[in-house]
Amino acid sequence: MLKCDRWIMEQAELGMLKPFQSSLVRHLDSELRERPVLSFGCSSYGYDLRLSPKEFLIFRHIPGTVMNPKRFNPTNLEPTPLHEDGDGRYFIIPAHSYGLGVALESMKVPSDITVICLGKSTYARLGIIVNTTPVEACWEGHLTLEFSNSSGADCRIYANEGICQLLFFEGEPCSITYSDRQGKYQHQPERVTLAKV
């Protein structure tokens, strides 16, 4: 069953999401409707996570290098500077490239829940694809997020604003949670976590 806003708010009080925004924020000054932002916070049946300003890494092409998930080479990644102007703080993801960021909020998933992370339509309309990521029962940490810029133009990715939506699905209790099996991506910090085997 897909969980609703009431359930999300109840679980947030128990520590499922920190920091937690109980309503969907579309403007930093909501009364004056000033400074629009890419929405973040609790919606009817989901939660829009924010992108952390701490780190964004872009894959770069090194001739003769083949990416190998079993022997991941971090020199294939380069940090991207955080920029700021009147529209907010942002990273730039170059055309036809791939990048890694991290969620600002930390998560602690309940034992009977699986979370699916999906992209936001505003970014999708620019050609930014957020990898669909499952988050298993009892996973904890800051979610590393994967982005593909499929467009022919460089695009901004805004920090401290909505970057993806979480959907929470309740299932039968599982025999072994992600925590029980000591999953390799457990307790990720608010930094990009690289591929592990």
- pLDDT tens for 70-84 read 888 888 899 999 999
Q: Which of 131, 130, 120, 127 is nearest to 151 (CA)?
A: 127
Query: Cα–Cα distance between 94 and 151 in angstroms, integer?
Result: 9
- Sheet strands (E) in 5-127: 17-18, 25-29, 34-43, 46-50, 57-59, 77-79, 83-85, 88-93, 98-108, 113-119
Closest by CA to 111, choosing from 42, 185, 188, 176, is 176
Rounded distance between C-alpha atoms, residue 196 and residue 70, angstroms: 7
CA of residue 43 relative to chain centroid, distance = 16
User: Of residues 13, 55, 84, 146, which has the active-site annotation?
Assistant: 146
Torsion, CA 188, CA 190, CA 195, CA 196, rounded to 10:
-30
CATH number, domain 5-170, options 3.40.50.2300, 1.10.3470.10, 2.70.40.10, 3.30.420.40: 2.70.40.10
3-state DSSP call for residue 6?
helix
**146 is an active site residue:** yes
pLDDT of residue 31: 60
Tokens of 62: 């090194």
Q: Which residues of the chain have pLDDT under 50?
A: none
3-class secondary structure, 88: strand
Q: What pLDDT, on a 0 to 100 scale, did the predictor assign at position 69?
A: 86
At 141-158, the pLDDT tens digits run 999 999 999 999 999 999
Residue 72's pLDDT is 83
For the entire predicted model, the pTM comes to 0.91
pLDDT at 62: 75
